[in-house]
Structure 1
């Protein structure tokens, strides 16, 4: 099926949609992102029963949950982004949701490391599709300073997905087994496909395809032009580093609580999910509101970066408390605080990135941001933790994971420094 518009210029010159239509489109994007992150969170909740049944090491678990998931981006993410910038975004979104939902259901049939890794790689279709589609649509639905706030709201929905996925995964896996749990989530995602296909109205692009820069006629030229934007590379690195500790938590915090605090499988999702999500949603939305106000007040699009530059280093004490506090109640409180602070860069960084490029490069730009994020936060971060945990296990036993997670303590400070460098290099305007 061809997802490229035959005559983009004829449909891409209309003004943005009305408030009600835009709000409904945003709602569908939020639902897609909630399902996306819910399906991603499932594996972290059932790491222990999967590890024991399939006889996997922590290193193998980290490869499955992070590296295999991110591998898809190195293969096809740029091609998907190219389609997003030129094609039928509603159709691309529906196909993406269908593919990752089927992959989620297929995870329940995994028999070993390789089949599990293949399923998780295909689940990566979700992030590769939802993120560039959402950023492209939101930039047309909410142009100007409002974009930062709406992107922050969209990003905050990932927390809802993690909470829903974590809580329901623990309950369903305890009651019916982890294989059935994956099947239930996969089938539920297919219902969203029908909702998108039948009710989501096409969104016209603000910029005409005829006005596309000459470099955009080929993919290499578009990529070269994007990479030449001053400060964008530093912004992508800072965004990726800001997500390293945040991304490792859904993968490893359930196993950490099971091993070091004796939490039961049926309870771990309900224990981790609500504080992580409430903190993440509050931090994401508040950072978007503050960044929007700073941008409006100063007239400078890079002003919003001040929020994560200040907030990210403040998350380090909360993360250390999460790892080393003896009281489970203190650990739960620390999860909420650190997620509140670590979520501060989600909206401001991405909104700034897509504001630096023409409309015809938004999909590729957001995907480049996503590739850097996935390589740093979802591939390297969890893999490092898994390798260190296996290396320390002969000395620390089940508590080795605690010290492996401590390798992420430096990430928020590094992210803040990278974003500060990006802010200096990005031109005002």
Structure 2
């Protein structure tokens, strides 16, 4: 694979890594806050989901703005929102409701950085290798979240949960400074004169309808949605799962649960990049089908592994991470390449909105199922919870195979 990133790509990869440092803060402190604030599993899952709720509320506006103004400006605003949300969690959060507000603000910040960051690249890169730039950009989501687990875990053990959010707030602030200082503005601004954003610009329903009428593009969007249910549920609860494994075995692993989660998360980076390369050879849709079924099997096997050897648990966790992420870049690149040029921005916005809608549902579904099946104190609760989030990928594959999606060209 011959791939030469432009000068903008390394800067945006660095910025994205910093912007995502706040992603796993709550997952790391979930059990701590659950005990301190007397939260149910559903409430714990809803706080994680609030992050994605904030994202969903903001991403239509953020993506609409990138069609009107330089995405650099949107990115800077997003970095500021994420910084304020993390500082709010550090200084002012004291119960379930306050945490919902600040986590939603943090999620809104991600909406202002993730897809606008991709738009910064697509506006400035005019080569035939754009799909590979996209693959690297989406794969670096795993780098940022991996470091988020690691840094948050170290801060939690050394200083306490409020310092986790306080120090990690430097991450999105650094990201906005990288973009502000090192990414040049577009030579020709997209919009001149007063900027009027109408409701139909924020929620371009007519354009979204056109996107969904394209069976190829809509398949990638719905695939990304079910992919996100499993991905973000797993990332929100994986630290708590490792804690449960330690209790059951009576022998904690020699690495902290947060460090272990962070290191395992890094396996998703090459999986996403290499998965996109494999998909280019075997067909995007066929690759997505194989990956989703395999990921579901690994997820259930991981939940069943509690009480077994730590090395078996780790192998299964790595396998689950690899196959969750192996179709991530493929789904996003497939949408970007298949969407019509005149509605590409709206298609990317809907893709992101639906994907993080899955992220909103995943952690809450996971926690709710655990409350229904015996809390997080029994193995079967974890098995049912994992099954409840991986089943969507299986249903998607069954539906799309019947629809013949794999026989359609993704251009």
TM-score normalised according to structure 1 size:
0.82
The match for 1:80 is 62
Q: Distance in 2 between matches of 1:409 and 1:33?
A: 27
**Which 5+ residue runs of structure 1 have no aligned equivalent?**
1-18, 210-216, 295-302
Q: Distance in 1 between matches of 2:264 and 2:375?
A: 32
The match for 1:199 is 182
Identify the match of residue 405 of structure 1 among 367, 386, 391: 386
The match for 1:214 is none
Q: Distance in 1 between matches of 2:334 and 2:400?
A: 11
Q: Structure 2 matches for 1:123-134, cutoff 5 A?
A: 123-134=106-117
Q: Structure 2 matches for 1:85-124, cutoff 5 A?
A: 85-109=67-91, 110-124=93-107
Of 142-151 and 102-111, deviating more is 142-151
Three-state SS of the structure 2 residue aligned to 1:321 is: helix
> Given that residues 244 and 381 in structure 1 are in contact (C-alpha distance below 8 angstroms), is that contact kept between their aligned partners in structure 2?
yes
CA gap of 1:363–1:100, structure 2 versus 1, over 3 A, is farther
Identify the match of residue 267 of structure 1 among 256, 267, 277: 256
1:249 to 2:234 alignment: yes
Q: Structure 2 matches for 1:128-277, cutoff 5 A?
A: 128-143=111-126, 146-203=129-186, 219-262=204-247, 263=252, 267-277=256-266
> Given that residues 230 and 425 in structure 1 are in contact (C-alpha distance below 8 angstroms), is that contact kept between their aligned partners in structure 2?
no
> Given that residues 235 and 418 in structure 1 are in contact (C-alpha distance below 8 angstroms), is that contact kept between their aligned partners in structure 2?
no
Three-state SS of the structure 2 residue aligned to 1:201 is: coil
Q: Distance in 2 between matches of 1:167 and 1:200?
A: 28
Q: Deviations over 1:127-184 (max 9, x none)?
A: 3222322332333444565222221211111111121111111111111001011100
Identify the match of residue 374 of structure 1 among 339, 342, 356: 356
Identify the match of residue 26 of structure 1 among 5, 9, 13: 9
**Aligned-residue offset at 1:415:** 3.7
**Aligned-residue offset at 1:107:** 0.9
The match for 1:286 is 274
Q: Distance in 2 between matches of 1:394 and 1:136?
A: 42
> Given that residues 21 and 144 in structure 2 are in contact (C-alpha distance below 8 angstroms), is that contact kept between their aligned partners in structure 1?
yes
> Alpha carbon RMSD of aligned pairs, Å?
3.0
The match for 1:297 is none
The match for 1:15 is none
1:319 to 2:299 alignment: yes
> Given that residues 33 and 157 in structure 1 are in contact (C-alpha distance below 8 angstroms), is that contact kept between their aligned partners in structure 2?
yes
Q: Deviations over 1:60-86 (max 9, x none)?
A: 0111101x2222244332121110112
Q: Distance in 1 between matches of 2:370 and 2:400?
A: 30
> Given that residues 277 and 336 in structure 1 are in contact (C-alpha distance below 8 angstroms), is that contact kept between their aligned partners in structure 2?
no
> Given that residues 376 and 382 in structure 2 are in contact (C-alpha distance below 8 angstroms), is that contact kept between their aligned partners in structure 1?
no
The match for 2:372 is 391
> Given that residues 242 and 415 in structure 1 are in contact (C-alpha distance below 8 angstroms), is that contact kept between their aligned partners in structure 2?
no
The match for 2:196 is none
The match for 1:352 is 334
Q: Distance in 2 between matches of 1:398 and 1:345?
A: 29
**Aligned-residue offset at 1:320:** 2.5
**Aligned-residue offset at 1:258:** 1.0
Q: Structure 2 matches for 1:4-83, cutoff 5 A?
A: 23-66=6-49, 68-83=50-65
**Aligned-residue offset at 1:319:** 1.9
Three-state SS of the structure 2 residue aligned to 1:111 is: coil
CA gap of 1:409–1:77, structure 2 versus 1, over 3 A, is closer
**Aligned-residue offset at 1:349:** 1.5
CA gap of 1:342–1:428, structure 2 versus 1, over 3 A, is closer
> Given that residues 41 and 250 in structure 1 are in contact (C-alpha distance below 8 angstroms), is that contact kept between their aligned partners in structure 2?
yes
**Aligned-residue offset at 1:106:** 1.3
Q: Distance in 1 between matches of 2:151 and 2:396?
A: 32
Q: Distance in 2 between matches of 1:222 and 1:330?
A: 48
> Given that residues 153 and 285 in structure 1 are in contact (C-alpha distance below 8 angstroms), is that contact kept between their aligned partners in structure 2?
yes
